[in-house]
Structure 1
Amino acid sequence: MVDDLLPTVRGKLVYLHSAQNNEFWSALLEKAYAKLNGSYEALKGGSTTEAMEDFTGGVTEVIDLKEAPNNLYSVMHKSLKKGALMGCAVETTSKSQREAKLSNGLLMGHAYSITGLDILRNGVKLVRVRNPWGQVEWNGAWSDGSSSWNRVPDEKQRLDVEFGEDGEFWMSYEDFCRCFTKLEICNLGPDAVEDDDVSTQWITSLHEGRWTRGCTAGGCRNFPDTFWVNPQFRLILEEEDDDPDDDVVGCSFILSLMQKNRRKQKVKGQGLLTIGFALYKLKESVAPNQTLKKDFFLYNQSVARSKNFINLRENSQRFKLPPGEYCIVPSTFQPNEEADFVLRIYTEKRAETGELDEETKQTVPVAPEPVPTDDENENDKKFKKLFDQLTGEDGEIDAFELRDIINSVM
């Protein structure tokens, strides 16, 4: 719940605002977002992926276009069909490069969105990109006014291409991968997709957990003595993908590990932890719901893992593995780091997931609490009276009072 009291300086909104002086929905939405995270300061610094996830509940994957997989265009096409949001950017290496305009018309450090894909009859793969500014566009091949369109007038009409400074432009897939450095795909869950076609929807599962110091915070594989105490989750992949264009046979899924409420912890001086995960193939001899012990991880290699451990809110990645039973181990990089986390699994086909957790029973009889004697009860009353005298009305002892008490006793 938010009110309409918004931070201003000299009568003007300090943060998010519209060009129209009587339009406030964006500032009110930002206030709600700030309240959710604890303060306006907590919103400082972020990423497109974090915003897309918070407003849709989806799972985002970040792809380095310099190391793009061979089937990326197919992945992008399937993602758009599933209603995914896609963004791209030319990453910067210094603050001075932000919003710097390149000779090809693209802006560095600027967030673009991808609004369409198409393959022309001559085999050229195109990507439609939009600058949210509504101006400043790509000026290379297939851009507005490019001679490339003169060779395919019927295709230009089919795609309803309009030349104008509206921020939206077409470019070839090859130029897209060459000029942009990062692609972000926010995959939406079935609740956010309007299409009733089940074949275009991800099947999702969510598991919450916690890394607790001395208990379930074992750190990464660099710490074999404690790695096995991390939370463990079972993933059973049964059905292979229906994708005739893909040479690799297997089950596609996206794994997302997110640390919770870290923005709220900023005020306490706690930043983001470095997190990642690993996947292990389970043998038939492993009993259902049996947690894997230290020896298993010493003698078995992971079949897949997060590309690296990163200190971002979320670490997510797309995988394709043969049908079978797997164990997912999410962890922080260092042991004994505490945090709550959410593990989300998006699969193309139906899959079974759950936490590996053995039932524990107490077998040692519990001794009854000793009944205090009259002398002990009398001592308790004396201590309570002394405590009340020392603490005064506030019922608390500060450092100076504690020093005086210790000095007098010792």
Structure 2
Amino acid sequence: MKSGSECGGGESLFEDRDFPPEDASLFCDRSTPIARVQGHVTWRRPQEICRSPALFPDNVDLAHAKQGLLGDCWFLCASSFLLNNKHLLNKAVPPDQPEWGDGRYRGAFSFRFWQQGHWTEVTIDDRLPCIDSTLCFSRCLSPNAFWVALLEKAYAKLHGSYERLWAGQVSEALVDLTGGLAEHWSLGDFGSGEEQRAGEDSDRVRRRRLDLSLLDPVKDLCAISCSSHTGAGAAELGRCHALTVTEWLDVKTSSGRKVLLLRIRNPWGRCGSGGAWIGSSGAGWSSVDPVSALDLQSRLAEGEFWLDETEFLSQFDDVTVGYPISEEGHLKSIYTGNPLTHSHQLPGRWIKGHSAGGSRNSAGYGSNPKFWLKVCERGEVLVSLLQHRKRRNTHDYAQIPLDDSENTKHRRYQAIALHMWKVEKKRFNLSRKLNKPPRASTHCHAYEREVVLRGRLEPGYFLLVPSVYQPGAEAHFLIRVFSSSSISLSAIKSPAPSLPWRTDGEWETSSFQGSWVEGSTAGGSRNFPSHWQNPRFPFTVCGDAAAAPANVRVTLHQSRPDSDLLPIGFHVYKCKKGELEPTLPRDEGPVASCVPHCHTHDVSLACCLSPGAYTIVPSAYEPGSAGQFTLSLARQIHRKVVKSQESLGRAIQEISHISAMRS
């Protein structure tokens, strides 16, 4: 490896301690095919891979992604959209970062991802996983360009490991990279009209029968991806693969009829085969003027091919459409092309025993969170409900396993829906209103990260009710509203929740007040040497060495306005025996981490820790970020069962009642 002086300065190159070049950064449970590379991966910086590395090549066609061993075609399809939108690219990949050969280069790069309503910055070093001297995951078509590989690494850090990027939704990556909105349509045959009328409403049928011509007003501005799930798609594509639609146009044949052709890019970097328009000898080209045929064929870059509309509809199962975003940051409707210049967002949460009321089938539906939407003038309105992904710790020794469902979306998300009612005034009978048909809804609960409803709304008040299908299911969410006219959004206050009744044992909870003080205890994240100045909170998991690990939940809370939130996170360190604080945490590293830092009121981590002494180090991302915080620590207590001949009589009931009142 080259020294720091050889790379443009006397200082050593940055090494990211939160995402080190180790197996923990590659794998989460070794359940995917990349497990076979274990033991064969070396981590190299770009200057060790090629002579003249750069973030982007001079030829933009060579900047597109080529998929490696990792099954993240969904992320690469979304990434390619950035290349056609400079303002979006600059948001995700901040410009003017010192590159190789620059005297300011220190081996570090920063990227931004939109997470739960805010942009989160993720800083990484440029050590990339290779097999021999070749990148083993995604790369650019140009061997000297590294923006794709570095962006992929930052996204892997955001998720906890590279393996967590195996399989996903293009719509999720589009939102994470742009902060915008994406919708999903199925292209398959859903039975007879009679079957559809019996089981679905007209709007859902319309969405499933999407006509691509509806997107004509924004076809050059929006992101479009197509996916195959059944294995019956384009030849050589197999199943569960996503591709990008880069262009579509009507072509006039020699007989005078029009054929809709779509240009498709495969992240694998190779074309399909067997279609009428594949290659230069496909049967379809003979029906087109030779000059037009040559022009269309010349547009193809590596991994691209043409399909006509019939082939497209037969070979793919669904389409994902990302909304265009103007340079001013406004969404454009994919239905009308209208700019949606007004937007609001508010966070919320479903809490068991308080606000997790379940679907409209449940008697508790009315206890779900509720929001007021005020529409000031008639206009096009989009409302989205975005839930936070269920998180789990990547460390084997600090992990609470998820259920064994084969459907990954079921494991990652709750089944959610959003309903909206028009109300004449703010005071109304809630149960009576909820028993009436809604003005608009997402119609059914879906295991999706985000669901969207749309409509042209007249001025007035609207009641929004987001719900999870299963009563008692907990999750955080974000309500977002985009409109062509003036709107306002506010939460309807609910009574404070009572303490939930836990059936999984006793818990002991402690809370600590703390602060980050500029120049003293505001040390920033582990990417900065001053990290160790942050406040520290020691705690103990009781038991001897043979005792079973204990469940622990740590929550870090900041009380600040939504517009002024700090990106916060924390690490848990194991202390040496007999010491209150870790003496060499830089070398030992944390046993559990709630990172990357997020702009949110609360960050929380549930983990399983063996008996011993630990220390929690909470931090804001940037050194010098001052603020107050509350740290809550809940530890599960396992008590031995005491055998007794006593019956539960009145005296015991009275004592229990008094004890409860005193607590």
Give the TM-score normalised by structure 2.
0.45
1:370 maps to none
Letter in 2 for 1:273: Y
Structure 2 CA distance for partners of 1:30 and 1:102, relative to 1, 3 Å = closer
Partner of 1:282: 422
Tell me how far 1:275 sits from its aligned partner: 3.1
Q: Distance in 2 between matches of 1:152 and 1:21?
A: 36
The code of the aligned residue for 1:161 comes to L
CA distance in 1, matches of 2:262, 2:245: 7
* Aligned partners of 1:56 and 1:188 also within 8 Å: no
Seen in structure 2, the aligned counterparts of structure 1 residues 150 and 230 have a Cα distance that, compared at 3 Å, is same
The 2-side partners of 1:404 and 1:308 are apart by 44
Equivalent pair of 2:422/2:462 in contact (CA under 8 Å): yes
Higher relative contact order (CA 8 A, sep 6+): 1
> 2 CA distance for matches of 1:71 and 1:202?
22
Q: Contact 1:130–1:167 (CA<8 Å) still a contact in 2?
A: yes
| Corresponding position of 1:366 | none
Q: What is the SS of the residue equivalent to 1:329? A: strand
Does 2:321 correspond to 1:181? Answer: no
Q: Which one of 60, 63, 76 corresponds to residue 185 of structure 2?
A: 63
> Does the 8 Å CA contact 1:91/1:181 hold for their aligned counterparts?
yes
Q: 1:38 to 1:233 in 2, by over 3 A?
A: farther
Report sequence identity in percent: 25
Instruction: Write the mapping of 1:41-56 to structure 2, written as runs, cut at 5 A.
Output: 41-56=163-178
Cross-structure match for 1:88 = 226
Q: CA deviation at 1:264?
A: 5.0
How far does residue 147 in structure 1 lie from its aligned partner after superposition?
A: 4.3
Deviation sequence 1:363-394 (CA, Å, 0-9, x none): xxxxxxxxxxxxxxxxxxxxxxxxxxxxxxx8
Secondary structure at the counterpart of residue 221 of structure 1: coil
Q: Is the 8 A contact 1:280 1:301 kept in 2?
A: no
Which residue of 2 is the match for residue 224 of structure 1? Answer: 363
Q: CA deviation at 1:209?
A: 1.5
Query: Do the aligned partners of residues 232 and 154 (structure 1) sit closer, same or farther apart at CA in structure 2, a change above 3 Å counting?
Result: farther
Unaligned runs of 5+ in 1: 241-250, 362-393
User: CA 1:233 to 1:116, structure 2 compared with 1: closer, same or farther past 3 Å?
Assistant: farther
How far apart, CA to CA, are the structure 2 residues paired with 1:19 and 1:318? 38
1:330 and 2:466 aligned: yes
Are 1:53 and 1:60, in contact at CA under 8 Å, matched by a contact in 2?
A: yes
Which position in structure 1 is the counterpart of 2:249? Answer: 118
Report the structure, 1 or 2, having the larger strand content. 2
Instruction: Tell whether 2:154 aligns with 1:32.
Output: yes
Q: What's the offset of the Cα at 1:22?
A: 6.9
Residue range with higher mean Cα deviation, 186-195 or 114-123: 186-195
Inter-partner Cα distance in structure 2 for 1:155 and 1:316? 45
Could you report, residue by residue, the CA deviation over 1:75-96 in whole angstroms, capped at 9, with x for unpaired residues? Answer: 3323424x2211002213xxxx
- Cα distance, 1:222 vs. partner? 1.6
Contact 1:134 1:165 (8 Å CA) reproduced: no
Letter in 1 for 2:261: L
> How far 1:341 moved relative to its partner?
0.9
Matched residue, 2:413: 273
CA distance in 2, matches of 1:31, 1:291: 52
- For the residue of structure 1 that corresponds to 2:480, the secondary structure is strand
Q: Secondary structure at the match of 1:161?
A: helix
The alpha-carbon deviation at position 154 of structure 1 amounts to 7.8
1:332 CA displacement: 1.3
Distance 2:326 2:170 in 1: 21
Could you list the per-position Cα deviations for residues 98-154 of structure 1 after superposition, in whole angstroms to 9, with x for gaps in the alignment?
xx8755x65433211111122345443332222233322354344443444444428
Secondary structure at the residue paired with 1:174? Answer: helix
2:385 alignment partner in structure 1 = 257
For these two proteins, the number of residue pairs brought into alignment is 349
Are 1:74 and 2:208 an aligned pair?
Answer: no
Report the Cα offset of residue 397 of structure 1.
Answer: 7.2
SS at 1:340's partner residue? strand
Paired with 1:41 and 1:156, the residues of 2 have a C-alpha distance of 44
Q: Tell me by how many angstroms 1:221 deviates.
A: 0.9
Question: Distance in 2 between the 1:207 and 1:191 partners?
Answer: 24
Q: CA deviation at 1:16?
A: 4.4
State how far apart, in whole Å, the 1-side matches of 2:237 and 2:137 are: 26
For 2:542, the equivalent position in structure 1 comes to: 398
Counterparts of 2:127 and 2:237, CA distance in 1: 38
Deviation, structure 1 residue 357: 1.8
Rounded Cα–Cα distance in structure 1 between residues aligned with 2:133 and 2:277: 45
For residues 299-314 of structure 1, the aligned pairs below 5 Å read: 299-312=435-448, 314=449
**1:385 aligned residue:** none
* Amino acid corresponding to residue 415 of structure 2 in structure 1: I
Q: CA–CA distance in 1 between the matches of 2:291 and 2:443?
A: 40
347, 351, 356: which one aligns with 1:208: 347
- The 1:102/1:323 distance shift into structure 2, 3 A limit, reads same
Shift of 1:234: 1.8
Q: Select the structure that is richer in helix.
A: 1
Instruction: Measure the CA separation in 2 of the matches of 1:195 and 1:62.
Output: 17
Contact 2:352–2:474 (8 Å) recurs in 1: yes
Partner Cα separation in structure 2 for residue 115 and residue 307 of structure 1? 31
